[in-house]
Amino acid sequence: MSYTDKMLRDDALKGKVIVVTGGGSGLGKAMTKYFMELGAKVAITSRDLDKLKNTASELETATGGTCLPVQCDVRHYEEVENMLQAVLKEFGQVDVLLNNAAGNFISPTERLSANAFDTVIDIVLKGSKNCTLAFGKHWIDSKQKTSTILNIVTTYAWTGSAYVVPSATAKAGVLAMTRSLAVEWAKYGIRSNAIAPGPFPTKGAWDRLLPGDLAEKFDMAKKVPLKRVGDHQELANLAAYLVSDFSAYINGDVITIDGGEWLKGAGQFNLLEAIPEELWDQLEMMIKAKKNK
């Protein structure tokens, strides 16, 4: 067995209808593919309908499953409501909302315009709010017995991070919403959880975050104690489990999948890893000498 293997049994999501925002590419596409392989019907949404159609066709061919492309700008509530109605018209129900749509870029905060800051906030926080509110109201009004919200956040949602302040601000809000609604909406049979991924390189997002030769200069694997980045199937496995009935008692949690990256960054003395073995011998002798004085 390998961490790149598929985890759940083939029919684990049979009968479920899942909506994945930002599902046309990257991690959204990877999760969608696995959901379909497990028997779910999936609707993918973004602003780029052509990309969605191409992805849906590709995934249906690869899995034999059903994928519905629906154009939607999550920043606008009326578009989210229209998207929800399109999914209900096609499938008759919706069981899972995966808030995956995101926007991010690196920049010193003082160089950002108010509009640039708003762009990230609107996609990540407002978009997740719009979808959560629309779907939640539908589930409550229709008295659906069980339903699930899964939000993709980041580890810096609780620590913050320099140079991605709009994203950190937005993701912290999404995490607070996740935990708050897990308590408030549990009585309606709605579970709310989150995943905080570490480095899972994708072509589009990583080109924006680390343009040019920055990706080579800032090797993300070096920041991870396991000395590697994540494989897309690992994230898909975790997401599939959290939206499946196997996780029915998990509610209000955020699960980190980052190989220990954020813990390494959080530890005050973790940078001492850079000290070579021979220097440790010298340091130990110096420390002992001071103790003996």
What residues are labeled active site? Answer: 156
What the block records as the tokens of 255 is 């699960």
Q: Which backbone phi and psi does 48 adopt, to 5 degrees?
A: -95, 95
User: Which amino acid type is present at position 7?
Assistant: M
Query: Could you tell me how far CA 98 lies from the centroid of its own chain?
Result: 9
E strand or H helix at 193: strand 190-197
Asked if 128 and 172 touch (Cβ cutoff 8 Å), the reply is no
Asked if 175 and 254 touch (Cβ cutoff 8 Å), the reply is yes
What the block records as the tokens of 149 is 């919200």
Asked if 25 and 101 touch (Cβ cutoff 8 Å), the reply is no
